[in-house]
């Protein structure tokens, strides 16, 4: 430490935040300072016995003693935050068919007609894909079946499950399965199979009947709400409530009616919702179902207020996007959400296996290929080795260009530790892997949502904080209150 200075500053990023200044260290610990205290901190005039200084010291932003221990502690916290990098690819998405019995107006996968079996994954390719998956060093392997509609090629789903289970007798990994299905073709026999092999269901529900049926239709054009409502109930009865999840897509049809969507989720027995934006791929671009970031954000804020109030009124429901960001802000732990991490999960957190064995860095990369651009194709399981696919230039470029620590604007952003990068969306939207933050919707949306959550945290309303901690820890509010009482 330089002797003329009373304390040492560790690395941090800062941002003007209303009347105060927000400081965030490398591990995501944060503090709000008044402008005056911030000026005093920078000019080394903070009293080292003041409360402000001690708070800064406890957050590892300053030290007035031997820095060895705080640097060690900071490094440990940083390592924990980045521990998602330890294990390499855990999520493996199998596109077992491009065929679908629905033709949703926003379909990102641009699905094929039910009769076109040439778009099904065959046995040989399925075997090669599973062999590739088990080369991943990750102790957890999650295989997610997507399409098209995976139930239309259920024999291959069964083969993949059983072959994976067989290989896992040698590899002893934590093996999980999820099937992403519109539930149209589900029946008792399929549900028995899913139950027997501990396969979870992720389905789609966009809201009550009028909203859901506006976009989610069969190939003949009729709405699917009635049948999927019946089948959600059936699936929950057979598999248990916790093993059936649903996702919604926000379009211009439901963006201003999110409260109705939330009510529908509660009516169908779900206790969480992920208010997701529309991704601009496939049919979604042609059908003009989009909206601007401000419209989404204003409605998202209202929906979040509504969900918080529901919790305060004794109804259990969480919002998953907020929960992911709150976990990043309020805990030292990584969340394993590949869409919001640095470097991006492209290839190293998630890989997508097309019906023909092509391997992509992400689902969006596969959708881009369907639109004719194979920029993010890592290789093919039938032709390439594991090393060629996962250590090739496509993966390396995606990783290299998605470290927020070195991206323009992100590198100085106080929200950096809570955010991430998406090189595929940058490439698609801005023709550049690095992207241009001032005009990036990914940046605009994450910035607004993180800032809003930070504002709520800064207010420090105990009731709201109890709701947030109940989401983060998956506990009831009463349990959180009990923990607060000590
Ligand atoms: S994308 Fe935006 S909000 Fe996120 S770290 Fe970069 S500059 Fe900050």
Per domain, the residue ranges of the chain are 8-81, 88-386
* pLDDT tier at 484, thresholds 50, 70, 90: confident
**If you take atom 1 of ligand 1, which residue's CA is the nearest one?**
443
- What pLDDT score does 470 carry? 98
Over residues 445-456, the pLDDT tens digits come to 999 999 999 999
Average pLDDT for residues 348-375, to the nearest whole number?
95
- CA dist 13 and 144 (Å) reads 37
More confident residue, 30 or 282: 30
Closest by alpha carbon to 472, among 356, 350, 323, 338?
A: 323
Segments in 275-392 forming alpha helices (H): 283-286, 293-312, 320-330, 363-370, 386-390
- CA dist 96 and 370 (Å) reads 15
Nearest atom (ligand 1) to Cα of 444 = 2
Q: Pocket of ligand 1, candidates 447, 448, 449, 453: which has the most ligand atoms within 8 Å of its Cβ, to mutate? A: 447
* pLDDT tier at 284, thresholds 50, 70, 90: low
Q: Is 64 in contact with 74 (CB distance < 8 Å)? A: no
Cα(359) to centroid of ligand 1, in Å?
28
Q: Is the dihedral of CA 274, 278, 280, 281 positive or negative?
A: positive
Could you tell me which CATH class the domain 88-386 is placed in? alpha beta
* pLDDT tier at 289, thresholds 50, 70, 90: confident
Instruction: Report whether pLDDT(286) > 80.
Output: no
- What pLDDT score does 4 carry? 79
| Ligand 1 environment, Cβ below 6 A | 404, 409-410, 413, 415-416, 419, 437, 443, 446-447
pTM score = 0.94
* pLDDT tier at 290, thresholds 50, 70, 90: confident
Nearest atom (ligand 1) to Cα of 442 = 1
Average pLDDT for residues 404-419, to the nearest whole number?
97
Average pLDDT for residues 83-92, to the nearest whole number?
94
Average pLDDT value for the chain: 95
Cα(115) to centroid of ligand 1, in Å?
44
Instruction: Report whether pLDDT(339) > 60.
Output: yes
**3-state SS, residue 380:** strand
Two tokens, residue 1: 């430490």
Which range among 103-117, 369-383, 471-485 shows the weakest confidence by mean pLDDT?
Answer: 103-117
């Amino acid at each position: 430490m330089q002797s003329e200075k009373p304390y040492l500053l560790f690395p941090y990023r800062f941002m003007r935040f209303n009347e105060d200044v927000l400081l965030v260290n490398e591990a995501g610990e944060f503090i709000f300072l008044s402008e005056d205290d911030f000026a005093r901190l920078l000019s080394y005039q903070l009293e080292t016995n003041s409360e402000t200084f001690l708070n800064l010291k406890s957050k590892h932003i300053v030290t007035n003693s031997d820095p060895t221990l705080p640097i060690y502690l900071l490094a440990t916290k940083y390592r924990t935050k980045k521990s998602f990098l330890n294990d390499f690819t855990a999520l493996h998405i199998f596109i077992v068919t491009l065929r679908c019995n629905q033709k949703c107006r926003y379909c990102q996968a641009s699905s094929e007609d039910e009769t076109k079996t040439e778009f099904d994954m065959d046995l040989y390719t399925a075997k090669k894909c599973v062999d590739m998956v088990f080369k991943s060093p990750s102790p957890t392997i999650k295989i997610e079946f997507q399409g098209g509609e995976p139930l239309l090629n259920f024999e291959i789903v069964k083969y993949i499950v059983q072959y994976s289970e067989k290989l896992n007798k040698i590899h002893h990994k934590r093996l999980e399965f999820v099937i992403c299905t519109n539930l149209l073709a589900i029946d008792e026999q399929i549900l028995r199979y899913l139950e027997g092999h501990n396969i979870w269901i992720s389905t789609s529900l966009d809201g009550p009947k009028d909203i859901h049926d506006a976009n989610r239709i069969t190939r003949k054009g009729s709405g699917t709400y009635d049948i999927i409502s019946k089948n959600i109930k059936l699936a929950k009865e057979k598999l248990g409530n916790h093993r059936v999840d649903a996702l919604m897509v926000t379009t211009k049809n439901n963006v201003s009616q999110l409260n109705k969507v939330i009510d529908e989720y509660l009516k169908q027995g779900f206790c969480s919702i992920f208010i997701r934006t529309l991704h601009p791929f496939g049919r979604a671009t042609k059908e003009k179902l989009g909206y601007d970031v401000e419209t989404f954000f204003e409605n998202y804020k209202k929906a979040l207020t509504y969900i918080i109030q529901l919790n305060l009124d004794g109804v259990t429901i969480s919002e998953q996007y907020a929960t992911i960001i709150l976990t990043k802000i309020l805990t030292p732990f990584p969340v394993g959400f590949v869409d919001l991490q640095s470097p991006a999960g492209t290839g190293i957190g998630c890989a997508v296996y097309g019906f023909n064995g092509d391997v992509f860095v992400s689902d969006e990369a596969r959708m881009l290929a369907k639109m004719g651009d194979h920029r993010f194709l890592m290789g093919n399981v039938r032709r390439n080795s594991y090393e060629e696919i996962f250590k090739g230039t496509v993966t390396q470029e995606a990783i290299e260009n998605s470290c927020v620590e070195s991206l323009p604007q992100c590198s100085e952003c106080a929200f950096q530790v809570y955010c991430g990068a998406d090189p595929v969306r940058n490439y698609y939207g801005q023709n550049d892997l690095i992207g241009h933050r001032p005009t990036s919707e990914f940046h605009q949306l994450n910035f607004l949502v993180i800032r809003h959550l930070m504002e709520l945290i800064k207010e420090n309303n105990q009731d709201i904080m109890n709701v947030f901690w109940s989401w983060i820890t998956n506990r009831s509010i009463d349990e959180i209150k009990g923990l607060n009482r000590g």
